[in-house]
Structure 1
Amino acid sequence: MDAQILWPALAAGLLVLATHVPLGREVLARGIIFLDLAVAQVAGLGLIVAAALGFGGGSWQLQLIAVSGALLAAVVLNWSEKRWPEVQEALIGTLFVLAASAGILLLSHNPHGAEEMKTLLSGQLLWVTPDQLGPTAVLTLALLGVWFGLRRQLGRIGFYLLFAVSITASVQLVGVYLVFASLIIPALAVRRLQGRRALGIGYGVGVCGVVLGLMVSLKFDLPAGPAVVWLLALTAAVVALLLDRGKRVRNP
């Protein structure tokens, strides 16, 4: 039973990491740390709106509403970065709070609203089904192809739009918290590295965090999403310390 639960959860975590590790490095380089949190929350708000309108999970209407919300947020944030770059982080934070508050208001009369909000934030990684993985894998390959093949041609708006699509897919699998953690934590661990080495170690941090987090979750019967977030952070901390120590040894 553990293996039947574990492999779809592991596959989902790895698919999320595939796009989040390179995108997270770009977010960190641009200094827009909370972009992912805001866009993920807007995508989650789209899911809440779609559910309130009666569209079930997996329906094309639900996906359209969720991705439309995220793309609209991306367009607005791209515009605000050009118009008011000095307060971009503040605007991103404001968008996050507005989207989160709107979700709470929409769920306030839903008898299962608290549980739905908890699921949106922390995800249900251990309950990912194989049916969810196929479309996500195709989308992930397409996004990676665009990112690594056309990154220089994307420009700022292209980055925002690609980011929004990636986040919309990810938040449905792993929740808002793990979306943020998988983007930012590996990037923080390798922030002083460059090129393929940074990308490779970043992926290593992410994979170790996901695997160890799922193992801890199953062993101690804990929620998978928060467990993976913590193990990602611990793994990243160890790797960052080892990298700093290695740098000091080479450059005493």
Structure 2
Amino acid sequence: MLDDFFTRALLAGIGVAITVGPLGCFIVWRRMAYFGDTMAHSALLGVAIAFLFDINLMVGVFVVAALVSAALLLLQRRQSLSTDALLGILSHSTLALGLVMVAFMTWVRIDLMGFLFGDILAVSRTDIAFIWGGGAMVLAGVAWLWRPLLASTVNAELAEAEGMHPERARVAFMLLMALLIAIAMKIVGILLITSLLIIPAATARRFSSTPEMMAVMASLIGVVAVVSGLFGSLQFDTPSGPSIVVAALALFLVSQIAPVVRRSGPQPQEGGRR
């Protein structure tokens, strides 16, 4: 069965969609879309470093994304610039550094379009193993951090008073995001990862009455977007990664005219930007 490239693409895409759902909910609740963009853009620098040192691409992307998260935390503590300004600097700087490094590595042929927009039809059995294995780790981490993340999203001071260590949970959340970026990069590409994070979660929010229901629905909507996007790509001969995002967008637009169940999810006092 795994000898068929389309079957491998479906398995890989479904694995990513299931993983993305819960993390995407926290991105929406915490208003951290720009943070997701920054992590995604840093992936190209990770790709360049992976080629330079001849290591696994996912490992390179994870390490760089984790370092970018650490840099953001350190710069925030200095309080010299707002968070959105810091994210803008890190986002564009890492993307530019990655492009410059790739340009200097003339001995390596790198498919930039594949990394920027994804190449899900080229996933291998090894990629599927990484995606499902990494996805299981991410979901286990989200389950473990669910209560402190949810509490700190509503009120960080109250979560701290109750001994939930919101800052520690925030650092762990950033590491989970780094791992997600590493496993999702090959599916939809660096420039489209944030779309797959935000759109299914935003769609699910309209129909969910609890945070847990929203997380599950976000994953299911992501799966529907992946499957319909891939079949649409096959039918109309369009790029697979962008087709998945377009399918997710179509689901979101349909949701806007459907009856609302009840708005779900915690309402943070502070957004991801400052």
TM-score relative to the length of structure 2 = 0.78
The CA RMSD measured in Å over matched residues stands at: 2.7
CA contact 1:34–1:92 (8 Å) conserved in 2: yes
- Cα deviation, 1:170-223, whole Å, max 9, x if unaligned, reads 213431133211101112223354323322332232122111110111112111
TM-score (norm 1): 0.84
2:211 match: 195
Instruction: Kindly indicate whether the alpha-carbon contact (under 8 Å) linking 2:48 and 2:101 is maintained by their aligned counterparts in 1.
Output: yes
Instruction: Please name the residue that 1:250 is paired with.
Output: none
SS of alignment partner, residue 242 of structure 1: coil
2:244 is matched with which residue: 222, 228, 234? 228
Residue 41 (structure 1) shift: 1.8
Question: Following the alignment from structure 2 to structure 1, what is the Cα–Cα distance between the partners of residues 63 and 247?
Answer: 32
Partner of 2:157: none
Counterpart of 1:156 in structure 2 is: 170
Structure 1 residues 164, 38: closer, same or farther in 2, change over 3 A? same
Q: Which residue identity does 2:32 align to in structure 1?
A: I
Report the Cα offset of residue 96 of structure 1: 1.4
* Deviations 1:26-52 (CA, angstroms, capped at 9, x unpaired): 112112212122112212211122214
**Residue 4 of structure 1 aligns with which residue?**
4
- Is 1:212 aligned to residue 212 of structure 2? no
Q: 1:177 — aligned with what?
A: 191
C-alpha displacement of 1:109: 5.0
Change (3 A) 1:212 1:114: farther
Letter of the 2:31 partner, please give it. G
Unaligned runs of 5+ in 2: 149-163, 263-274
- Amino acid aligned to 2:250: L
- Which one of 38, 42, 62 corresponds to residue 67 of structure 1? 62
Counterpart secondary structure, 1:73: helix
Identity of aligned residues (%): 26
Count of residue pairs brought into register by the alignment: 241
Question: Which structure has greater helix proportion?
Answer: 1
Deviation at 1:86, TM superposition (A): 7.5
> Which residue number corresponds to residue 272 of structure 2?
none
Q: Counterpart of 1:99?
A: 94
Aligned-partner Cα distance in 2 for 1:83–1:156: 18
Q: Which moved more, 1:184-193 or 1:91-100?
A: 184-193
